[in-house]
Chain A
């Protein structure tokens, strides 16, 4: 193999599994080390740089980072990354003076944001410091979008959401509440320099079965609309027997909210077996802990309404073949109930976009949006969040917001929006002296800390009572040490190597090999430990000075303990901290200045 190009920022980025998996590429090991040092403000600010809502995401994120976490490959349980983020948010002090100042002199450009959800707020967060006038149109009386209307308060307290949305609004956003946009044409006529559409995926999918619109259908609710009514106080009770149709995260929020509004006998009805559920495993566990029953292999057939009143729902009881592709009906049952909540998904709807404006619509009646620039086919009109490519989650919306803001800035400044700024990196040695490093390199065998929940007996007293109590000091101290510091990279300088084998002998996971060069398949066969994960790269050196063989490192299970570097007599191995420099709109200089020496030009998103 050719020697690995470790000057390509994406090479070491991929080694940091959590950061690579995160849509916003948050520097996870970096903020975990700051938490370990008790620097909660710094940890919060590092988080905020990429994900904007650390307090919200520390409670509600879908956590793509955790299944990717290297610790999971080592001892089976990933680091509790998400809940550590919450620790930083909970313990931070006053950070107002660390928010980028807003110039008093504006740049003369006006942009409109439709919606005040996570993607639109991210756009405002990125553009306000550049001197833009941002006008935000929100249909409700409060900001937050689906973060407010669809996530119940026992999971996300209102004050956390208020704090983090207010930071952005306080930058001077001209927010107009109770102002739903009903016509894009009318908005275009207002001659904004750019428009951002962040309206989410606001329509619940329906379930057209017999009885759906009969007399008494007021007890049949659509999930996201019902959660919204609960969030804004329009609904404060529900019947004792509740059926939830669907097993996504919305279904989990519906059943747990029902439990707090009077529901006593709550069943979540699923068509398929449990391993095919969409809900995150931890949300299923939380629901079951609260006494919600999850019923599998029941396909809804009709609503049973008698005398203008919902009395139950009829289901086919199914048996699935292996792989759950085909089912046979075993039986038909009627499950009695007082209310049914339909939580089978949500979809986009753009009734307010006139179809003669020249905006191209594609499959599923979705506007055609560029995946890199987030621009629609009307120049200057950008999309992000669930509105762009259908329902995802908050962290994706934030990532979209950052990219859309870059495009909007380029568009307003008259630059090409396809000319994306380069991704850069910095590497700096963590060596502090003889076998001394600026990070804690010893492997800590602690197991994953369990989140403490408020007692069941108290939990249902009010809808606002937060269930998760956060990590205490001892739990935090243990959990931060479980992080393997994947961003402290093993870097190798082939000309210095004397092939003494010291690093190979000391590596606790046998991830190093010195061998004759060959193609990737051959090298993988010759590794000291059998290769088990082809998704992880091999780090291959140039030919070594004495024998011409190559040093090969399997990045898969390296625990970044630094023993190779401690044992190396010539400092051919070093432990260098990797910092990914993600360009945001505020780094607009990057749009024009040339790349720095140590970096290679890589397009964002490539």
Chain B
């Protein structure tokens, strides 16, 4: 953390987005995380993504549970709605909020402890329901708030700061998601905003639950020699399977990716995500092959990153449950609560 807040410097001509806001308008309170924490870089990437998407801050809902990761929503988009829930229950609150108001953009920030230990049951069912939200796991392999014990995502053989190796098999959130029927799965690295920002933007446009596993090194308890979630390990073992470029709706298409072997997918809202597989032949639409790729990389000690799997034909929680088209707060009261006469009529129909 820093001793002073990031000051607003007046006459620096900061560029504005489509709704006239500067990137500083998408920032939040002063971070109280350790200096150099990967989570702060994820915060910066989220700030960039929402600013570039020109999402109105009041149309964003940010949610979290408990853990270092769950502090981070405070640090971005100060004008958004927010909810800091009980440990592992971020996605349950998000599901409820989304059911009541489907018109907000939901972003949940969780950690490997919050999502893969105490909250794994809720995560599994939220994936099944395909709740329309961005679900970010800031994954550092340790419990930072309780001083650095192994978490459920620690790799076998990875060492604690004092040297003990981990012997228990890790949970890979992307493999978990594949087996639960997730429709958008990505992995990235906090130290690579060029990759993370377009993935976040595509995730926000995705119709359903977009799960992003972000390796976000714990600079205090898990950035040493022998760690498999350190800055250095990631830089040496990351394999980018796919490059992603997000093309927002109504925007001229930038040609930042080489078009020769690029494929495009149109998202639910009309925006376009363009892919180029780096080792040619990677297919982000084939659930079975994606799983094989990831397992193969893992067996070689490598970490596959990029937008690894996407299925844009899926139905989200509202479509699956045939809910009203708009937020419940826009439905007239007479319709929300039709009265006892209507109730009696309905009950009569069951007799």
Contact = CB atoms under 8 A, between A and B. Distances in A.
* A and B co-occur in one complex: yes
Interface of A: 73-76, 435-436, 441-443, 445, 498-502, 504-506, 508-509, 529, 532, 546-547, 557, 559, 561, 563, 566-570
Contacts of A501: 41, 44, 190-191, 193
Given A74-B9, A504-B44, A546-B235, 13 more contacts: A435-B1, A445-B7, A498-B223, A498-B232, A500-B191, A501-B190, A502-B41, A508-B8, A547-B235, A563-B6, A566-B3, A567-B35, A569-B219
B7 A505 contact: no
Given A546-B232, A567-B35, A505 B44 contact: yes
B2 interface: yes
Nearest to A545: B232
A73 B9 CA distance: 11
A562 to B, nearest CB: 8
A508 B9 contact: yes
Nearest to A507: B6
Nearest to B30: A506
Name the residue among A441, A547, A561, A569 with the largest chain B CB count within 10 angstroms: A569
B238 to A, nearest CB: 11
26 contacts: A74-B11, A442-B7, A445-B8, A498-B219, A498-B231, A499-B235, A500-B38, A500-B217, A500-B231, A501-B41, A501-B190, A501-B193, A505-B41, A506-B2, A506-B40, A508-B6, A508-B7, A508-B8, A509-B9, A529-B12, A557-B12, A561-B7, A566-B3, A566-B4, A567-B35, A567-B36
B130 to A, nearest CB: 32
Contacts of A547: 235
B36 A500 contact: yes
B44 A443 contact: no
Contacts of A435: 1-3
Given A500-B231, A561-B7, A566 B41 contact: no
Contacts of A74: 9-12
Given A498-B36, A498-B232, A567-B35, A559 B9 contact: yes
Contacts of A529: 12
Contacts of B191: 499-501
A502 B10 contact: no
Name the residue among B10, B36, B219, B223 with the largest chain A CB count within 10 angstroms: B36
Contact of A566 (B8, B10, B35, B223): B35
Contacts of A563: 2, 4, 6
A497 to B, nearest CB: 10
A442 B35 contact: no
Contacts of A506: 2, 6, 40
A445 B232 contact: no
A441 to B, nearest CB: 7
A75 B10 CA distance: 6
A557 to B, nearest CB: 6
A71 to B, nearest CB: 10
Contacts of B36: 498, 500, 502, 567-570
Interface string B3-23: 110111111110000000000
Interface residues of B, number: 30
Contacts of A445: 7-8, 10
B40 A502 contact: yes
B222 interface: no
Contacts of A567: 2, 35-36, 40
Contacts of A443: 7, 9
Of all A-B residue pairs in the complex, the 4 with the closest CB atoms, nearest first, are A569-B36, A443-B7, A505-B44, A435-B3
B34 interface: yes
Contacts of B1: 435
B43 interface: yes
Nearest to B12: A509
Interface string B215-236: 0010100010000000110010
B75 to A, nearest CB: 10
Contacts of A76: 11
Contacts of B13: 532
A interface majority secondary structure: loop
Nearest to A504: B44
A569 B35 contact: yes
Contacts of A561: 4, 7
A557 B235 CA distance: 31
Interface in B32-68: 34-38, 40-41, 43-44
Interface string B180-201: 0000000000110100000000
A227 B77 CA distance: 63
B231 A499 contact: yes
B4 A500 contact: no
B218 to A, nearest CB: 11
Nearest to A546: B235
A7 to B, nearest CB: 27
Contacts of B8: 445, 508
Contacts of B10: 74-75, 445
A367 to B, nearest CB: 47
B219 to A, nearest CB: 5
B9 A500 contact: no
Given A498-B232, A570-B36, A441 B41 contact: no
A442 B4 contact: yes
Nearest to A561: B7
A529 B235 CA distance: 25
A561 to B, nearest CB: 6
A557 B11 CA distance: 10
B35 A568 contact: yes
Nearest to B7: A443
B104 to A, nearest CB: 26
Contacts of A499: 191, 231, 235
A505 B2 contact: no
Nearest to B217: A500
Contacts of B193: 501
A395 to B, nearest CB: 28
Contact of A569 (B3, B11, B34): B34
Nearest to A437: B3
A82 to B, nearest CB: 22
A445 B40 CA distance: 26
A105 B219 CA distance: 65
A526 to B, nearest CB: 11
Name the residue among A443, A505, A508 with the largest chain B CB count within 10 angstroms: A505
Contacts of B223: 498
Contacts of B11: 73-76
Contacts of B9: 74-75, 443, 508-509, 557, 559
Contacts of A559: 7, 9
Contacts of B43: 505
Interface in B208-257: 217, 219, 223, 231-232, 235
A440 B218 CA distance: 30
A498 B34 CA distance: 14
Contacts of A566: 2-4, 35
Contacts of B232: 498, 546
Contacts of B34: 569
B30 to A, nearest CB: 9
B35 A502 contact: yes
B192 to A, nearest CB: 9
A412 to B, nearest CB: 52
A74 B8 CA distance: 11
A506 B31 CA distance: 10
A241 to B, nearest CB: 45
